[in-house]
Structure 1
């Protein structure tokens, strides 16, 4: 049941498991009472990245920056407006459901709210087994596998016939994780998997996901607000702002020496465990709110809030470029570091 542990990310070579190129999602505007149509919302605006087998990429940023929309497009819960998603060398961007089915079992998702993502009318056995039934397994095979998965995620297999409301939030999230593992996926998109849980339970779920990654060789796209959690579980970090990636790189490069002004501001808000260092450090306060994705500013979308903004920032959109020599980090800023 348990696959060999994944090789360290640094040692992996070859084509990426997941390749996202220029991914865009525009939600159409609605018609007002006067008959006019409101402008569309560009939730994701040209996102590109690669993910290797067994690697974890963290997607971070403020609410509304497009993290969850990106994750849902990766697993084909949303149809992208443009761009492409390739999984294990195959372009899955616009596959029909029948053609997508062989890939679907290798692409799974864990949702933010464990209780709202579980059908309250179904038992845990049915919730976990449903993906297996869709893939053609018998009822007996699916139920046996569901019991194995409950034990794997730290639940009591004898509780398999209980309903979601009979479990705590942390236990319900474990059920969601078990469901995502039912078809032996290679990639799991975890959308804020611990944000709805108590702090002590968060640590348990994070440790569980780390253990499953090692034992099963999983790759994760880990979407989160909590930068401390992202640093704990991720190999690389992508920082999003208003639908775009503004910085992406190895977590040590990003956390130890952030290059983009927005990344610096985010990290300055992370509490430090040392009280003296916490009191002594300077916090970066961003002025104003993020612009509306319905009418983003020209040039660099961060320039209305950026302390370094100059004339070029107001007219030219910066592209992701390699940072300092010797780094793999990319930064979309005219004046990084």
Structure 2
């Protein structure tokens, strides 16, 4: 029988919707509390008065703040993000190009981080107190204390400047401006394009994973230290089950619950890290877009990016609640409990 009732699921959907509204409100207010305004970025003193007035009316900047807020809440919930003055295109088409690039980089780093982290934490918790546990745990803490952008600069210095093995910018090799140099690119196949993307993603991906795996490891190790002394673990050992079966099937499965919760926090930190890592590696994704549009006071684009990223985090949180019931049969949301 399903352990999640329709009533509870409806309740979670309503709560998630109001959380998204809160995120939208914060994005709207914080952007307008910054020094300078959207109008300052669009209108120059040399413009004719009629041109300045036309731009102000185009973006509803002549409306009171509460009207701008209501218009923003309605338009952005219906996918009407407007026009980006910075890039001279519709905001939605801009996000359609940028979002997949961010999902490729940070989706891959999230998957690798939450495969490596729980696996390492599982073994460290099982080996608690041993030299292997202490040495790997100490190395993880050292990595966790380092900023991802600092590791990124070290990797760029080593693998790009010194060794010349890996590129340090962009998602793919850039076409040269000189037409006479385009011949090698005209012979590219889809397989060569994939290899080129993997070549470019290596440094930013490793920069994020080198720090991102540690959070999941720390949570998993702590939980494994707790569950290894549980009665059901001793019972499984008494039944003659192999050590590997007891560790994975009985101990690790129950220790995964807090890791699933921490994964949502990890998503937020990964998205937060996107701003810096994408900027360092000139990765053409949402993180670099946030930096550029905020600095240029491009309200329509910046608000849309915050909205999309906020929705992704809220949806992940909702999916985690559902995943709980499959990770631990003791958890039940039947009847809203």
Q: Normalising by structure 1, what TM-score?
A: 0.25
Larger radius of gyration: 2
Please state which structure has a larger fraction of its residues in helix: 2
